[in-house]
Amino acid sequence: MRIVLLPGDGIGAEVCAAAARVLREVPLELDLEEHLFGGAAIRETGDPLPPETLAACRGADAVLLGAVGAAEFDRADVRPEHGLIRLRGELDVYANLRPARGDGVDLVVVRELVGGLYYGERGIRPDGTVFDTMEYRPEQVERIARRGFELARGRRGHVTSIDKANILATSRLWREVVEGIAADYPDVGLEHMLVDNCGMQLVQAPGRFDVLLTENTFGDILSDVAAGITGGLGVAGSASLGDGRPGIFEPVHGSAPDIAGKGIANPAAMLRSAALMLRHGLDKPDEAERLETAVDAALASAPTPDLGGGATTSELTDAVLSALRR
Ligand code: IPM
Ligand code: MG
């Protein structure tokens, strides 16, 4: 199986190196090949997603991605983040699963990933007004809703659909389509919740959620909140899936320029993303579970500074490897 590794920027390289070390120990034939992406690719080629990288991703069974973003591009026209948005669109990985588990909390954010505000028309009018637009077609909502209900079926059977239907037209479409799909899943419970209320409930009563079904921007924000109440961004992995291979597997955290290059980034989010890759991207649920168990054990025995411990990236990775060998 061909895995394309895209380290990207900042701590991306450090956590990707940790993932490569661990994946070499998984008893599967995995071919890892690294490609340029993000700011690193802009520096070399002027393009955050060079054609060679895109071609390699298209031919891969899975893409494992570190992080993109660097301060030097903050004001540039060509930005590392554009490469990520384009890659997700090109591979049409519309379903982004972001599990959050912790004390009494076991939820997964199902975020629509290739539509809405991040993909809409944007620009500047002659009078100086700047605009971004949010659009959704019914089919885009349908396919992500189906994913959410399917996933809920294998869990506690409850979907909370997030919108801002008291204001937004796209949210009214969202609500209507989700209700239509819900009819095919009579065994799954559905509630609608306004996004602002959801933000509060996530902080006050996160245990009440099972599957959180949401459009792109709301999901971007709520998934950071969900990560924040269950150990932080250092431990939050994600899977971005289309209808076939390859999926993209990436930590929820960004490039973390403040700690990049220090060797102290928590690789758990990346290793959990690698486990999600084994489970959802390569159909290897047993290997995925072994890796997840090893990461849990390592987080308990060798916590990194973000968790109040003193372990370095490589020490936590060592702990994962020794747990895997046990
Ligand atoms: C995420 C990130 C990205 C997003 C950025 C880097 C474009 O915040 O994966 O959540 O907004 O999707
Ligand atoms: Mg985000």
What average pLDDT does range 270-280 have in this prediction?
Answer: 98
The per-residue DSSP string of 94-130 comes to: -EEEEEEEETTEEEEEEEE-SSGGGTS-EEE-TTS-E
Q: What SS3 class is residue 191?
A: strand
Backbone angles phi, psi at 193, to 5 degrees: -145, 140
Instruction: Please identify every residue annotated as catalytic.
Output: 118, 164, 196, 220, 224
> Given pLDDT bands bounded at 50, 70 and 90, which one contains residue 243?
very high
The per-residue DSSP string of 4-54 comes to: EEEEESTTHHHHHHHHHHHHTTSSS--EEEE---THHHHHHHS-SS-HHHH
pLDDT for res 98: 97
Pocket test for ligand 1, best of 65, 73, 81, 87 (most atoms within 8 A of CB): 81
Ligand 1 centre to CA of 274 (Å) is: 18
Average of per-residue pLDDT values in the chain: 97
CB of 112 within 6 A of ligand 1: the answer is no
Which atom of ligand 1 approaches the CA of 81 most closely? 7
All residues with CB under 5 Å from ion ligand 2: 220
Angle 251-274-290 (CA atoms, 0-180°, nearest 5)? Answer: 130
CB of 7 within 6 A of ligand 1: the answer is no
CA distance 107 to 148: 12
Ligand 1 centre to CA of 18 (Å) is: 21
> Given pLDDT bands bounded at 50, 70 and 90, which one contains residue 313?
very high
Are 48 and 79 spatial neighbours (Cβ–Cβ below 8 Å)?
yes
Backbone angles phi, psi at 19, to 5 degrees: -65, -40
Beta bridge partners of 1: none
Which residue's alpha carbon is nearest to atom 5 within ligand 1?
81
CB of 84 within 6 A of ligand 1: the answer is yes
Closest CA to 111 of 269, 288, 236, 292: 236
pLDDT for res 19: 98
Residues of the chain above pLDDT 70, percent: 100
CB of 251 within 6 A of ligand 1: the answer is no
Ligand 2 centre to CA of 127 (Å) is: 31
pLDDT for res 92: 98
Segment 45-61, tens digit of pLDDT: 999 999 999 999 999 99
Segment 171-182, tens digit of pLDDT: 999 999 999 999
**Residue 277: DSSP 8-state:** I
Segment 90-108, tens digit of pLDDT: 999 999 999 999 999 999 9
Global pTM reads: 0.97
Ligand 2 centre to CA of 233 (Å) is: 10
pLDDT for res 168: 98
Which atom of ligand 1 approaches the CA of 68 most closely? 6
Ligand 1 centre to CA of 220 (Å) is: 6
> Given pLDDT bands bounded at 50, 70 and 90, which one contains residue 62?
very high
> Given pLDDT bands bounded at 50, 70 and 90, which one contains residue 124?
very high
CB of 220 within 6 A of ligand 1: the answer is yes
